[in-house]
Structure formats: C-alpha cells, structure tokens
Chains A and B, each alone.
Chain A
Amino acid sequence: MASAPENEKNASAPEKKTLTLKSMINNEEFVVDEHVALQSVTIKNMVDSDCAGDVIPVPTISGEILALVIEYCKNHANPSASEDDLKKADAGIVAKDIYTLIDLVLAANFLDIKGLLEVTSQKIADSIKDLPHQDVREIFGVENDYTPEEEAAVRAEHDWAFEGFP
C-alpha cells in the first residue's frame, strides 16, 4: 500500500483527502488521512501555504519513528477516544528505549506536535531521573568539558544530591 496515489472521486460523499508522508532517511512512505496529518503544525503550514505536493518529504526522521508519530496522530484524531484511552495509547507509544525516545522527541519538535513532544519529554525525564550523570552524558552524547578538579568542585556544591551515586 506504499506509493499508490489515490484519486478516487467517484463516490457521492466527499472523499477523505489523504497525504503521503515520505521518510527521506529510508524512503518509506505512509498514506494518512489529511486530518490526521494536520495535527502536525509543520505539515499544516505546508498544506495551508500550498507548498505540499502529493508526497510530503520528511527529512531526518526514519520510517520507524514516523510510524510512531502517525500512530499518535491517528489516536488523537479519533473524536470518540476517551481521555483514558488516549493516555493508555500514549503510554504504549513511548514505551521504547531511550535512543528511540530521543529520535521521537526530535521528530515531534520538527513536526511541531505539542502533545507528542510533551509525553515524550516526560517519558525521557522519567527514564533519566535516576541515572548517574555519567550515563546521561553518554545518552545525550554530551562531551565532558570539566577538568576532574572542576567536576569535583561542582559536585561538592550539591553533594546531597549525589547520595548513593558514583
């Protein structure tokens, strides 16, 4: 069902418009209803200003991540979904490893989907809050620019926070 352009306008009821999102990383394509895709402010702006063709290329987001984003948008575009259902569905979407979550948060930011950005950030915060700072450095690819003496001094400033940590 990947790249079939949909031009069926034979039915009497107004046909639901669809958009095709294409990941530029692995060229995977996703056909989604327009109202689902429009939850992304970035895509909405493209459509509103008429710069969206049949296929909307999405740079820097892999197909795997794009699938999660679309799942989120589908859930939240469903008017009959209760708040509880949505919460459960969101929890399912963000039940991923930390590296996937970082990709997801970048995607949510790029596509400007506020709700997804919030749940993903919260999940990342929950998963790193009990980690030692050395692990956090590694996860986010942050270079340690302290000298050992400086680091010891900073640590001493908030010594109480390090109880039980290396």
Chain B
Amino acid sequence: MSDATAMKERQPLLVVKDLKQHFPIDAGLVFKKQVGAIRAVDGISFSVNAGETLGIVGESGCGKSTSIRSIAQLYKPTSGSIVFNGTELTTASEKDLLLARRDIQMIFQDPYASLDPRMTVRSIISEPLVIYNKRGLLDKPMSAIDIETRVEELMERVGLNKAFKNRYPHEFSGGQRQRIGIARALALSPKIILADEPVSALDVSIQAQILNLLTDLQKEMGLTYLFIAHDLAVIEYISTRVAVMYLGKIVELSKAEDLYMKPMHPYTRALLSAAPIPDPKVERTRQRIILSGDVPSPDKERTGCYFYDRCPNKMPWCSCHIPPMFKISEGHECACWLYDSTDHAGQSMEEAEADALASLRAKETAGSDIGAERK
C-alpha cells in the first residue's frame, strides 16, 4: 500500500451490517403467492477501510455477486444497513443515492455483455460524465471539450490507444474490453470500485495485465476495492483482507496472509486445499481435503451451521445452533463452533437439541416471533 492511502483516516469507508437479500419464490398463475425465498445473502456484516482491498471469495451461488449488487443498490436489500461514507444507502433519497453512487462504481465479469455493442468507446466511457453533468451533480460543470479530454486521458491511463475512441466494442479483444470497462468505472473518480469477477473471463496472460493495472490504479488514486473472485490465488494476490462466503454467510474474515497461512474454518481449509497450485512438486505432496456433496439449495431457513451437511468436523451441536463470528486473533474472525470457549465436541444430539429448544422458548417468551416463522 502506498503512503498516500496509508495517510487517509482509518475510518471505514463502507460498513455493511446484517445485510439480507432474499428473492421471493412465487407460486400460482393468477393469484401470485409467495411460497418461499431464495436466501441469496443471509445476514452478512463487514466493513471496508479506505484504500484497502477486501476480497470476497466463495463458490458459485454463495451470494458474492448478490452482496455487491445489494451494496450498489441494484437490488433493494431485504433488511440490514449499508453505510457508505456516512450515508445510509438503504433509506437514502434518490438524489442522495445518485450522489453516493458517483463514488461507487462497478466493473463486471463479462466484458462482452457489459458493454453496449451499439455505442462507441467514447460514448461508453463518457456516459457517466454526461449523465452526471446534465443533472448538475459534478463538482464543477464540464464542457463537451472537457469531457473529450477526460475520455482521452482515461483511455491512456488504462492502456488503450486514444485513436480507438470511435470504435465499437466488437473490434476489441476481451482484455481490451475489460480495460474499457475499467475506464468507464474510473470516469467519475470514484472512491470505491466494486469489481465482480473482473478477471475470470480472461486468459492467463491477459489476467496478469489487468491485475497489474488494477493495483497500479489503486496506488495512484488511493482507490478502495471490493473485489470478488472465485480464484483463490487471484484473491490472495490483490487483497488486503479476505472474506470467505458460503451459502449467503461469511464464514471467515481475516487479513489475507493470515487466511492463507492459518485457515480456521473447515470450509476455508477445504477450499484452499482444493485449489490447484501450478507446481507439480507441491501438488504431489500436499494433502487434499475433498468435500463430499454439493452446495445445498439456499431456499430454506437454517437453524444450524450453514456448512453442517458437508463439514468434515461437524458436531451434534452444530446442527441446531448458528455459529456467531468468533474472534481468533486481531482482525481474524471465524464462524465455527470449534472456536467457541466452551467445548461442544462431547455433547450428544439430544443435549444439543434440548439446548436449542430451550433458547428458542426463551426467545418466544421474550416476545419475539421467531417461533412462528420457524413453523
């Protein structure tokens, strides 16, 4: 991290608290009735400090992309709070939201689908500027010439020849298109960039170019990244801190080095051991934890650990108690009962269920309606 970013105040730029994003499942032809919900994101909390990169890693369907779309308010979150730079996004007015979004930009996975094929590179990159200029939301209004120079400047910065500004996306290769996407995201000089698998559609040699570009831009402009990928090596390379997601929950959150040196959650361990390493000698000697089965469907509410079905270290206790985030060390948290101060390994299924029932009753009498929902 460069000095410029380290100088910035340590106050978190983005704070997400207990964010839930459920998608309703409807049944019935005429009278639509909600019969259930896909719990894509089921209560995640984290914060992102200015100038750092928070990597989110997980398998497909674990809610990585949904989380950042909820953060950008592309979906209306079911519950929870998202505070960006002091603004609560979930309840913000349209005007406030527009202002906040000037500082939040996105880069998408598929550089073929994320660029309008009928727009020239110039109009793609200048679109955010034109819109914000028209509404008078820029710090100072820009003339057409100002916008033109800004576009050229951006194109050069991301490594595109500015002579290509009148070309259409189909004339570019995948890596170049991703550069166009990055230039568009940089147009409004945002504070944070939400990057949704920006390199997974690219070839290995191009992937390295884009990763280098992103790190250079961060150093230069003090950008903050929320970076999603399913490739663990990419996440390790780019991230300051990493959150591991499973089935809509964060199971482990830690500094990047800690996570890769000392993975605590059984899922993180399995994930790290499953990722192939490009070295035959290492591949031969290392122990692999092969998880059985597939990721379960996120359509039902769970009362126990979300990873219970596939966990190699499961205990009866885990089946009926949702683990909170336990603090392992400074800045390293893990949602697993193995790290609770009391040892649950000896408890039988009956004991665990009795305990779960007792705490449920206690909550019921306290006036909460969780019991009703569980039925």
- Same assembly: no
Interface residues, chain B, with chain A CB atoms under 8 Å away: none
